[in-house]
C-alpha cells in the first residue's frame, strides 16, 4: 500500500508498522518512544540536533556517518569500537596521558 499525504501532528499508537518504508518524509520535531526499531535501516537522513535517550544501540553499525560535535554521556561503551579500536582502550590511554601530565 502506498499513501501520499500531507499530515502534520499525526499521532500513531499501538500500530504495527513492521516492514514500512518512509521515503522523502519530513519528520522534524517528531517523537518516537516505546518503539521496537530493531533491524532498522536509516540512510541519507539528517538527524542534526537529535537526542537519543534511554536507547539500546547494542550491535548498531554507523558507517560513513558524520559524528562531528556528538556527545556521549552516562552511557555503557563496553565493546564500542571506532575504526576497530576499543573506545575503552582509547579512554585508558587518554587518562594515562593526562595523569602523566600530557595533553
What is the domain partition of the chain in residue ranges?
Answer: 2-71, 75-102
Q: What is the pLDDT along the chain (103 residues), one digit of tens a residue?
A: 777 777 888 888 999 999 999 999 999 999 999 999 999 999 999 999 999 999 999 999 999 999 999 999 999 999 999 999 999 999 999 999 999 986 6
Please tell me the predicted confidence (pLDDT) of residue 102: 63
Please tell me the predicted confidence (pLDDT) of residue 34: 94
Over the chain, what HEC string results? CCCCCCCCCCCCCCCCCCCCCCCCCCCCCCCCCCCCCCCCCCCCCCCCCCCCCCCCCCCCCCCCCCCCCCCCCCCCCCCCEECCEEHHHHHHHHHHHHHCCCC
The correct answer on CATH 2.160.20.80 for the domain covering 2-71 is: yes
Q: How far apart are CA 26 and CA 31, in angstroms?
A: 13
88 close to 80: Cβ distance less than 8 angstroms: yes
Amino acid at each position: 500500500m502506498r499513501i501520499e499525504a500531507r499530515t502534520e501532528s499525526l499521532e500513531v499508537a499501538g500500530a504495527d508498522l513492521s516492514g514500512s518504508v518512509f521515503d522523502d518524509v519530513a519528520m522534524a520535531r517528531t517523537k518516537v518512544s516505546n518503539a521496537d526499531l530493531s533491524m532498522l535501516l536509516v540512510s541519507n537522513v539528517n538527524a542534526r540536533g537529535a537526542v537519543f535517550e534511554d536507547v539500546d544501540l547494542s550491535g548498531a553499525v554507523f558507517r560513513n556517518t558524520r559524528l562531528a560535535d556528538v556527545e556521549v554521556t552516562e552511557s555503557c561503551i563496553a565493546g564500542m569500537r571506532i575504526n576497530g579500536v576499543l573506545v575503552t582502550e582509547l579512554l585508558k590511554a587518554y587518562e594515562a596521558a593526562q595523569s602523566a601530565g600530557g595533553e
